[in-house]
Structure 1
Amino acid sequence: MKEFDAIIIGFGKGGKTLAADLAKRGWTVAMIERSDKMYGGTCINIGCIPTKALVYQAKFATRLKDSSFEEKAEFYRQAIAIKEDVTGTLRNKNFHNLADDPNITVYTGTGSFVSPEVVAVQMKNERMELKSKHIFINTGAETVIPAIEGIENNPFVYTSTSIMEVTGLPRELVIVGGGYVGLEFASIYASFGSRVTVLEGFPELIPREDRDIAEEVKKALEKKGIVFRVGAKVQSIVNTGNKASVKFMDTRANVAFSLEADAVLLATGRRPYTTGLNLEAAGVKIDDRGAIIVDEHLRTTQPAIRAIGDVKGGLQFTYISLDDYRIIREDLFGNKERDQNDRLPVSYSVFIDPPLARIGINEDDARKQNLDIIIKKLPVAAIPRVKILGETNGLFKVIIDKKTNKILGCTLFGPEASEVINLVALAMKADLDYTFLRDFIYTHPSMSESMNQLLS
């Protein structure tokens, strides 16, 4: 049995950053990663980096709208190759950033607890046991596979991970799930030239957003040719030999329908990945959603073991995992002032085209709380910068507390929204009045200067 100062299970953002930090402090660290295709974690390999690489290439693909499907498919094949090159380069860099450090040992295998201080690693040809008083779980999340007849071993059914490994562009793509992941992939593949249908089980699209924002998103995506079917309960996905037949019920009209597709993408959510960890042996408990239970400093029910990132539930973003590292760093070596409650509010972006970004509460939330608010809206078409970009779809919206002049929330749907939202986040974190952003001097022409108009 080998002993280390720290064991980290999972090569994700928070875990790899923590490993490098601990190594610099002279700690010996064991990094366990179950797949050599996942060095660096979800974001680099199967999440934000590859999808955003395709988002970027898809914008160029829109110029091929009058080209043949074969020409579009060839461009898509090249885009997948570019995506593979990007992820491969980053994966290799991340591996060597840790593996080349004399204080870090990388084990490629599956980790499982033997006791609160011992982790077994099952590698390809060997099983080892490692011991440490400090263990960190950073195993991420996995795709939720719904109980739909015909999914198992169906070659036409994909997850958000597996579809990006396919080099052929599907002519007909059906996406099961109209949440943020489903919309991102719908936008990407429609831009490349696929005919996309989104089947959403709920009676409305993206229900956590205000209806005016959701309607703008729907209109922009429908301009790409995407068809939305809400209230659609998928019953089966049948392999017909050369296609998939998707059978679903329109729950509003109580009528059955079927669609043929070259590919079916399951975009039905993600859940914490704890399979095979044997958490019971370590005394680590999970909640009713399968997430590891942690306190404000990310300690599990076994205090010497902590959880980082998606595996503990909550917001599933790379930057949250990175901030988890900061909380642990300050708790171990700092003044212990940082905790999970310290980072709110947190913004998020959905990389459809154009992107959707939000922070704080929306109008519906504010109304339900009976808050006295000011609502300000700005059609994206009114922003000078978009005339240059040629992208006029979208709506910017902000919610302001009438009594305090503080920004309660902001939703931006338009070009460069994922960048501009950070300005609003900074103002909210600094507890500044909305007038600070309203009267600030921005460069021109820029999307940032839209704050002058939006908040006027």
Structure 2
Amino acid sequence: MQHPDVDLFVIGGGSGGVRAARIAASHGARVAIAESANFGGTCVNRGCVPKKLMVYASRFPDQFKASRGYGWSPTESVFNWHDLITHKDTEINRLEGIYRTNLEKSGVSIHADHAEIVDAHTILLGLSGQRVTAGTILIATGGHPTRPDFPGNELAITSDEAFHLPELPERVLIVGGGYIAVEFAGIFAGLGSEVTQVIRGDHLLRGFDTEVAGILAEHQARRGIKLVRGQSLQRIVQIADGLRATLSDGLTLDVDTVMLCTGRAPNTRGLGLANVDVKTNEHGAIVADRHGRTNVPSIYAIGDVTDRLNLTPVAIREGQAFADRLYGGLTVPDFDYEMVPTAVFSTPEIGTVGLPEHIARERYPQLKVLKTKFRAMTQLFGGLEDQVFVKVLIDGPSDKVVGLHLLGDGTAEMAQLIGVALTANATWADFRHTVALHPTVAEEIVTLKG
């Protein structure tokens, strides 16, 4: 295409789209971006950031309790939901402003508008009616929570609405067993709600290491979270003092809030994909290769809209790599999606890198499993019951560490650095040759004996 208005038009102002736009502009490309909602996307506005702030808030009761073992006599503490939400909103507004400012400083043209693809090189902006031509179009529109179809589903909330509840519910029913459900169960329970969690299967956190998930379920029960297994939600009706939820076995639960954490779907509606025949899969996700290329040569896609590994840092990495390859002329190595460090901000939290045991056993017949479980010094001295769990998975013949799974306070921070080691193909001998840092929880990893 000759003389387009811009070299790159990015649809979606979340973490991945913003990174791609900024890096492309830094390489000298003329870049425009469109976002119809809030810059920063799900992570900043309705996901990682506000959720982590609420996780921090929910852990204070444990800290108050433990402080007595350390000689403190804390005065009576009163939690105020309104103060938390107000402070959270202030912080989110600040962060969204930073995203906009960084785009402006990079020279990216910003459109607070809905963008629709008209043809392989043309974007139509819904509010202004402006048409913008582009050499390349990048779709980075992310995803949204799904709402299963059953009677009364409109009475439930999703994670989007959970950040804006007018008050802390006394009784909460959470439907789903994934990381979002687990995290919000911990948040509400920690803040004082009575929490029931309903899952279809037998285990929390499908896809994660089942042993770690089982230990987390034990800790949830200790915190008063009631887990109902093998059931699904069939109906919700309004009653005088809240909501009545009916499960598949006929059991009814009277609660104040029902939160649906039953999956997410790609944001592809209204993008005009049919206008250019961009290929999507059976779930509506855009089909793209490891470099983000779709079946239309001028159109790329990254992040959750491709429904591969729906994590903010993955979208950022994909956006950076896309811009470096196309506009920086750089050779960017593919990264291993199986070695992406992942955290679940439950209480206690989970940090994991690599394969879970059930997959590792299929792939590595001579798998060695080393593990330990103990109470850390900080919990033991403070009179808390939380445990630390460490599991290392090693391919016997090569000695390569193929998975490392942690549960306990601070393990998400550990997983980030463990990810460096496993990405570098570290062997168990490399871990064992590393001097332990004492006294820490992390030293238990390098001192494990098998």
TM-score for the superposition, normalised by structure 2: 0.91
1:364: how far off?
Answer: 1.7
Q: Does 1:107 align with 2:111?
A: yes
For 1:145 and 1:302, the matched residues in 2 are separated by 31
Q: Does 1:87 align with 2:92?
A: yes
Cα deviations by residue, 1:253-283 (Å, 9 ceiling, x for unpaired)? xxx1100111110100111111100101123
1:206: how far off?
Answer: 2.6
Q: Does 1:163 align with 2:162?
A: yes
Instruction: State the match for 1:336 in structure 2.
Output: 331
Instruction: State the match for 2:357 in structure 1.
Output: 363
Instruction: State the match for 1:49 in structure 2.
Output: 49
Change (3 A) 1:325 1:346: same
Alignment counterpart, residue 18 of structure 2, candidates 9, 16, 19: 16
1:442: how far off?
Answer: 4.1
For 1:83 and 1:265, the matched residues in 2 are separated by 20
Amino acid at match of 1:128: Q
1:406: how far off?
Answer: 0.8
Amino acid at match of 1:3: D
Q: Does 1:290 align with 2:284?
A: yes
Alignment counterpart, residue 310 of structure 1, candidates 304, 310, 315: 304
Cα deviations by residue, 1:278-306 (Å, 9 ceiling, x for unpaired)? 10112311111211111121111112111
Q: Contact (CA 8 Å) 1:298, 1:307: kept in 2 or not?
A: yes
Listed as ranges, the matches of 1:197-212 within 5 Å are 197-212=196-211
Alignment counterpart, residue 322 of structure 1, candidates 308, 316, 321: 316
Q: Does 1:222 align with 2:224?
A: no
Q: Contact (CA 8 Å) 1:72, 1:193: kept in 2 or not?
A: no
Instruction: State the match for 1:122 in structure 2.
Output: 126
1:30: how far off?
Answer: 1.3
Instruction: State the match for 2:183 in structure 1.
Output: 184
Q: Contact (CA 8 Å) 2:174, 2:198: kept in 1 or not?
A: yes
What is the RMSD of the two structures over their aligned residues, measured on CA atoms? 2.2
Q: Contact (CA 8 Å) 1:292, 1:312: kept in 2 or not?
A: yes
1:9: how far off?
Answer: 0.5
Q: Which has the higher contact order (CA 8 A, sep 6+)?
A: 2
Instruction: State the match for 1:68 in structure 2.
Output: none
Q: What percentage of aligned pairs have identical amino acids?
A: 30
1:32: how far off?
Answer: 0.3
Q: Contact (CA 8 Å) 1:184, 1:350: kept in 2 or not?
A: yes
Instruction: State the match for 1:98 in structure 2.
Output: 103
Alignment counterpart, residue 275 of structure 1, candidates 269, 273, 294: 269
Amino acid at match of 2:103: L
1:334: how far off?
Answer: 3.1
Give the gaps of 5 or more residues in structure 2.
66-75
1:105: how far off?
Answer: 1.7
1:240: how far off?
Answer: 1.9
Q: Does 1:421 align with 2:415?
A: yes
Amino acid at match of 1:32: A
1:359: how far off?
Answer: 1.8
Alignment counterpart, residue 75 of structure 1, candidates 67, 71, 80: 80
Amino acid at match of 2:360: A
Change (3 A) 1:23 1:224: same
Instruction: State the match for 2:152 in structure 1.
Output: 150
Q: Does 1:434 align with 2:428?
A: yes
1:2: how far off?
Answer: 8.2
Change (3 A) 1:223 1:391: closer
Q: Contact (CA 8 Å) 2:117, 2:272: kept in 1 or not?
A: yes
Q: Give the match's secondary structure for 2:232.
A: strand
Amino acid at match of 2:118: V
Instruction: State the match for 1:175 in structure 2.
Output: 174
For 1:207 and 1:64, the matched residues in 2 are separated by 33
1:74: how far off?
Answer: 4.3
1:424: how far off?
Answer: 2.4
Instruction: State the match for 1:453 in structure 2.
Output: 447
Q: Give the match's secondary structure for 2:251.
A: strand
Give the gaps of 5 or more residues in structure 1.
66-70, 251-255
1:446: how far off?
Answer: 2.4
Q: Does 1:58 align with 2:64?
A: no
Q: Contact (CA 8 Å) 2:292, 2:300: kept in 1 or not?
A: yes
